[in-house]
Structure 1
Amino acid sequence: MARNKGKKKMGLTTMIFISLILGAVVGAIINTWFMDINVVKNVIVEGVFYVIGQGFISLMKMLVVPLVFFSIICGAAAIGDTKTLGSVGVRTIIFYLFTTMVAVAIALCMARLINPGIGLDMSAVENVSTTVSSSSTKTDMSIVDTILNIIPTNPVAALANGEMLQIIVFALMVGVILAKLKEKAQLVMNFCTQCNDIMMEMTMMIMKVAPIGVFCLIGRTFSELGFSAMVPMFKYMITVVAGLGVQCFVVYMILLKVFTGLNPFKFAKKFFPVQAFAFSTATSNATIPLNIDTLADKIGVSRKISSFTIPLGATINMDGTSIMQGVAVVFVAQAFGIHLSPADYMTVIVTATLASIGTAGVPSVGLITLAMVFDSVGLPVSGIGLIMGIDRILDMLRTAVNITGDAVCTTIVAKQNNALDVEVFNKV
C-alpha cells in the first residue's frame, strides 16, 4: 500500500515539470559539447526531438476547433438559462466578462512593461517566415475589418479553416438558441454535451503524453539556444505571477469595496482556505462545493445566489487563464520577432475573453484555447512548448485567481439583491 501511495504522488504536473528541467539540461549539454556531431544534431535534435515535439503540437492543434466549438455551445447554453434569473444573471455575466477583459488588458500591459520574450531568438530554432507573413497581413487590417471578419459567412468553412473568432460567434449563437428552445432541441443539446465530454476526455488523454512532448520541445530549443533561453522563461513566469497578483489583490478587492463596502482584508482572510484548496487541485470545478459553503457560512451570501453564480463562474469566468494567454501572446511574439499592431492586441482581448466562456474548469485546458488565441493573431502554436512546463506550476495560481473572481462577483451580486447577511461576514 505504501508503494502505491508513493507512485500516486508523481502526478502529471510533477512529471511535466521534471520533463521541462530534464529537457533544458539535456538540451544545454548537447548545445555545449555535442552539437558539432552530425549524428546528434541531425538524428537526435532535428530527428527525434523535432518529430515527437511537433507531433505533440499537432495533437494539441487537432483538439482546438472541436473542443472550442462544443464547449462554447455548452457554455452559451448555460448563459441562456440565466434569463430565468433576470437581473442576477445579467449582472453576473456582465461582471464576469468585464473582469476578464480587464485581466487580459492588465496582462498585455505587464508583458509590454517587462518584455519577457526579449533576448530569446526563436528564429534560430524554427523558420517562421510564413507566420510572420500572415501576421503582417493581419496588421494591415483595420479594427473595423477585424470586427466584421468575426461574422462567419460560411460556418462550415470557418470550422474547416480554423477561423476561431468566427467559430466562437457561431457557437455562441447555437448555444443561446439551444437554451431558448429547451426541450424542443434537447436531442441536439445532448449531442453537443456528449461531444464536449468526448473532447474533454481526449484532451486528458493527450495531456498524458505531455511530459514526452515537453521534453522534446524544450530539449530541441535548448540544444539550439543553450541556457540563454532560461532568463526569458523566468521573466515570463514573473510577468504572469505579477498579472495574477494585480488582478486578485487590486482589481477584485477594489471592486468588492466599491460595490459592497465590505472589508477586503477580512474577505481575503475568510476566503483563503478556498484559494488554498483551488491551488492544490488546480481545478475550478472541484472547488465549487467548498466555494458555495464558504460564501454561505463565512461571507453571508445566500445559497440561492451562489448555487447559480459559482458553477456559472467555473464555466465562463477564467480571468487567471486570460492573464496567462495575454502574457503568452507578447512573450511568443517577442521570441519569434513578430510585430503585433494595436488591432492585434484588441483581437487578443476579444478572443481571450470569448475563449474564457469555453474554457472548462479543469487543469491544462487553458493551453488548448491558447492555441486559438495564437491563431487569431498569426503566432506559431509551437511557441506553447516553451511555456508548457512552467505553465503547469502557474496553473495552480491561475485557478486560485479564477475562483476568487467567482466569489467576489457572487458577493457583489448578492449585496445588490439584498441576499447578503453582513452580520455573518463581520462575525469572527
Structure 2
Amino acid sequence: MKSANKGKKLAMKMIIALVCGLIVGFGCILLRENLIANGQSETWTTINNIFFQDITVEGATSAIGIFYIIGQLFVNSLQLIIVPMVFVSIALAICVITDTKKLGRISSKTILTFFITTICALIFAGIIGALVYQTGAFNAVNASDIVIKEGTVGTNPLAIILSIVPNNFISALTNNGGVLAIVFLAVSVGLAMNQLKDKTKTIKKLFIELSDIISVCLSFIINKFAPYAIFCLLTRTFAAYGIDYLKPALAYVITVLIALFVYLIIAYPIYIMVMAKLSPKPFMKKIAKVALFGFSTSSSAATLPLNKQTTVDEMGVSEQIASFTLPLGMTINMDGTAIMQVIAAIFVAASSGYDVTFTSMAIIAVLALIASIGTPAAPGAGAVILFTILTGMGYTNDAALLSYSLILAINRPIEMLVTSLNVVGDSSTSIIVAKKENMLDEDLYHR
C-alpha cells in the first residue's frame, strides 16, 4: 500500500510537470514566433541562450542553457546506472531460477510476446500509412529549402547480429549503446552461476547488494528530481521548435502522432485482456506515469528504472520476470519505433516520387522489424536508424534525402510518444509472461 501511495503521488507530480511544461513550451513557441515576426530575433536568441541552448554544440561558448543543463544532468544520472542495472538484474534473475525448463519457458514466452506485438504494430502502421498515402497527403511536402543533415550512414540491418556477441568484456560494459551485448553477457554469466550453484554464492551476494544500492539511488533520483527535470525537458523541447519546422510535413506529423496515440490507448489494453486475461484498467492507470516519464525523457533506457519499480512494486510482477523482460524489452521490443519507421518510410517514398505498393510496404515492414531490434534506447535513435530502411529500399534520390532531413529536424516530439509506446509495451509483456507463469500478485495488480 505504501508503494502504491508513493506511486500515485509521483504520478500526480509528473502530470503537473507535464502540463506545466507543455503550457510553458507552447508559450515559448508563440513568443518566439512573435519576436521573430516583429524583427526582434536577437531578443529570442538571448532568451534561448539563457534557458534552452545546448551548451555543448559549437559556437555556444557564451550560452548558459539552464533548462538544458538541468534536463541533461537528470538524464545522465539515469543513464549512468543503466549498464550495471541491466547486467546485475538479468544475471540475478537467471541464476536464481533453479528450474531450467522454467527459464526456457520464460525466455520463449517473452520473445514470442515481443514478436507478436511488434508484428501487430507493423501491420497497424502499414494500414494507416497506406490509407494516408491513398489520399495523396504525403505528396504535398515541399522540401526545396531544407538543408540536408550530414553524418547519417546506411548499414545492413543484419549487422545488428554481430553486435550481440562482444569481442571485449570490459568495453561492452562501458558502452550504453550496446545493450544487446550487455544482455548477452548477463545471460551468459547468469546461466554459468545457475549451473555452478553454491560455488558462486559470494558473487551472487555481491550482485544482490549491488542491486539494492542501485534501487536506493534510483528511487532518490526519480522521486526527488524527476518532476523538475520533466518540466525542464518538455519546456526546452517545444521551445526549440518554430512553426516553420512543422508546416512542410504536417501530414506526416499528424499521421504518426494519431497512429501512436491510438495504438497506445487501444492495443495494450487489448493485449492485457486477451493474453493475460486481466482487466486493463489497473494497468493503464499505474503505467501512466511511466508513459509520461518516457514521453519527457524520450529514452527507453532512462525510463527503465521507473518502469521496473512500477511493474514490480505496483503491478505485482515477480522480480525474476521483470528483471529479465524489461531490460530485454528495452533492447528488442520497439513497437512505437516500428510504427514511426514504417509511416516515415512511406512518407519519404511518396514525397520523393517512388511508388508505394503492397510488396514495398511488406519489405519496409520486414526491414523495420529488423532495424527496430537494433535501435539504441536513446533519444533520436529511431530517426537515425530509419536511414537503414530507406537505403535498403533504394529511396536515395535527392528528394528522398531532403524528406529524410525534414524528419530528422522535426522528429523529436514524435520520438517522445514513440518512447511511451516502447516502455508501456515492455511492462505489458512482463505482466503477460508473469500471469502465464503464475508469478503475478493479482491482489497487488488490482489494488
Distance 1:346 1:190 in 2: 39
1:385 aligns with 2:405: yes
Distance 1:197 1:399, change over 3 A: closer
Deviation at 1:189, TM superposition (A): 5.0
SS in 2 for 1:299: coil
Deviation at 1:190, TM superposition (A): 4.6
**Residue in structure 1 matched with residue 158 of structure 2 by the alignment:** 169
**Residue in structure 2 matched with residue 98 of structure 1 by the alignment:** 116
Contact residue 101 and residue 350 of structure 1 kept, 8 A? no
Distance 1:339 1:125 in 2: 24
Distance 1:349 1:189, change over 3 A: farther
**Residue in structure 1 matched with residue 377 of structure 2 by the alignment:** 361
Contact residue 260 and residue 415 of structure 1 kept, 8 A? yes
**Residue in structure 1 matched with residue 54 of structure 2 by the alignment:** none
Structure 2 residue corresponding to 1:259, chosen from 275, 279, 289: 275
Contact residue 163 and residue 178 of structure 2 kept, 8 A? no
**Residue in structure 2 matched with residue 239 of structure 1 by the alignment:** 255
SS in 1 for 2:354: coil
Distance 2:417 2:375 in 1: 16
SS in 2 for 1:110: helix
Contact residue 257 and residue 414 of structure 2 kept, 8 A? yes
Contact residue 383 and residue 407 of structure 2 kept, 8 A? no
Higher relative contact order (CA closer than 8 Å, sequence separation 6+): 1
Unaligned runs of 5+ in 1: 1-9, 27-73, 127-161, 179-185, 200-210, 223-228
What is the RMSD of the two structures over their aligned residues, measured on CA atoms? 4.0
1:410 aligns with 2:410: no
% identical equivalent positions = 33
Distance 2:435 2:178 in 1: 39
Distance 2:360 2:418 in 1: 24
Distance 1:354 1:368 in 2: 14
1:303 aligns with 2:319: yes
Distance 2:301 2:172 in 1: 20
Structure 1 residue corresponding to 2:439, chosen from 419, 423, 427: 419
Structure 2 residue corresponding to 1:294, chosen from 301, 310, 331: 310
Contact residue 359 and residue 365 of structure 1 kept, 8 A? yes
For 1:422, give the aligned amino acid: E
Deviations 1:205-236 (A, max 9, x none): xxxxxx9xx99xx98xx9xxxxxx92x62221
Contact residue 347 and residue 376 of structure 1 kept, 8 A? no
Deviation at 1:328, TM superposition (A): 0.7
Distance 1:244 1:325 in 2: 12
> Which is helix-richer, 1 or 2?
1
**Residue in structure 2 matched with residue 313 of structure 1 by the alignment:** 329
Deviations 1:326-353 (A, max 9, x none): 1111111111121133332122111111
Distance 2:125 2:160 in 1: 26
Distance 2:145 2:394 in 1: 18
SS in 1 for 2:139: coil
For 2:110, give the aligned amino acid: T
Distance 1:309 1:249, change over 3 A: same
Unaligned runs of 5+ in 2: 1-20, 38-82, 95-99, 147-152, 180-236
User: How many residue pairs are counted as aligned between the two chains?
Assistant: 297
Q: Which moved more, 1:264-273 or 1:378-387?
A: 378-387
SS in 1 for 2:140: coil
**Residue in structure 1 matched with residue 141 of structure 2 by the alignment:** 120
1:110 aligns with 2:128: yes
